[in-house]
Structures are given as C-alpha cells and as structure tokens.
Amino acid sequence: MSQVLKGKCALITGASSGIGEATARKLVAEGANVVLFARRAERIETLANELGEQALAVTGSVTSHADLLGASEQASNRFGGVDILINNAGIMPLSALAERRVEDWDRTIDVNIKGVLYAIDAVLPGMLARESGHVVNISSLAGLSVMPNTNVYACSKFAVRAISDGLRMESDGKVRVTTIYPGAVQTELAETIPESDLKRHLQDMFKGEAMSPAAIADAIFYALSQPPSVGVNDITISPPGMG
C-alpha cells in the first residue's frame, strides 16, 4: 500500500469500465478513496459495492457542469475533498470530415474537451485553496499526431494537451498535472465509432494488439505516487511497435 496515496480522494470520470475501472481498483488497493463518476449507474454502483467503504458511486455525465459540481460536493462530504482528478471519460467517433458527421463532432467536443474543463473546474478551487492536488488528464497518441479519419478526435486530444500544459503553468506548482498519451487499450472506446470497415478493423486491433487497462492504471499510479517535489508531466504508453 502506498503511504503517499493513503486516505487521498480521487474523482475518476468514466469509471464504469476500461481505464477508469482499472484505475479505481488500483488506487483503492493503494489506500486511496475513490469517487466513481459515470453515466451507467448500475455498473459504478456494483463496482463501489465491491470496493467497499473507500468507494462512492456518483451517476452523471461529464457534459453536465452541474453533475460534476455535485460529484465534487459529494466527495467533500464523504472524504473531505478531492485530492486527485482522473479525467478519463472520452469518446472516439472517428470519420472523415467529408462524411459531415456534425453531431459526432459536437459530441466529441462536449465530452472530450468541455467535459475535461468542467471536471477541472469542479475540483480546482479546493485544490488551490489547499495548495495541493494532482490532475491526470487522459489524452491519446492522437493528441500528438493526426492520421486520416481522426481529425476531430485528434483535435479534442490535442486540446487536452493544451489544457494540461496551461493548467500546469497557471497553478504555479500548487497542482501537479500529468497527461497520459495511450496507444490502443482494451476498452469500449472503439464501440463509439460509427459502423464502418474502420470500426471493425479497430475493434479487431483493440481485442488483439491492445494493452490491458491495468497498464494505464499502473502508469497513472506511478505519476501519483511520486513525492511532492516531483512532477511527472507526460507519459506516452503504447503496445510495442506503435507510436
């Protein structure tokens, strides 16, 4: 068990599966308390029951500023405040711009960009008041390099990088900020791609070549477990040969 994380409270968005669920399990095992935030109430309630008194399930959407403010308030009431934010919720409805999937573009911006900002806003005042906190934003290799059909998704993940870098500078050392850039991970992310040959190809890749969500949880734990004098700014993690 990590003495650095013992008793700390982590708010995890997208906690119902994949990286969010794996991170919740890892942090509880290391002594942290977790607030599981996601839309699928049954999943996070089942996970919270399994994890015990160190876990609290809060149902909501990252597209709702009010939902995230409420989650932060519940975290304060139960655990005394949010020490760690894991901005994990995201979607990946890939398509070429010529397909004109404007509704998908709007959803990507709402979840992947505005959701990150809303979550930060919900916890940042408390972190700054305590002069202590850690924000971990999950970007993607697509946040470092654009490929065909990734235009809007990549834009959203480049934005996560910009938000992280800006917050790190603005908080003047009071809040540590880590950005994780994963390659393919065995999650439900490919399910958000519109039906196409691209979706089927990526689903096959995610099942075969992709990393376990636990690998990303371990990377997150590494960043969180460093002493206060050490800031892990960026971690790129991918299957061998991808990057």
Per-residue exposure over 164-175, b if at least 16 CB sit within 10 Å of its own CB, e if not: beebbeebeeeb
Catalytic-residue membership of 118? no
Cβ atoms of 36 and 87 within 8 Å: the answer is no
Query: How far apart, in whole angstroms, are the C-alpha atoms of residue 229 and residue 212?
Result: 30
Residue 243 CB neighbours (<10 A)? 12
With beta carbons less than 8 A apart as the criterion, state whether 173 and 233 touch.
Answer: no
CA within 13 Å, CB half, 59? 8
- The active-site residue, picked from 118, 153, 181, 222, is 153
Q: What's the Rg (C-alpha) of the chain? A: 17
Distance CA(137)–CA(116), nearest Å, equals 8
Number of residues written out for the chain: 243
Q: What angle do CA 73, 79, 80 make, to 5 degrees?
A: 70
User: What positions carry a catalytic annotation?
Assistant: 153
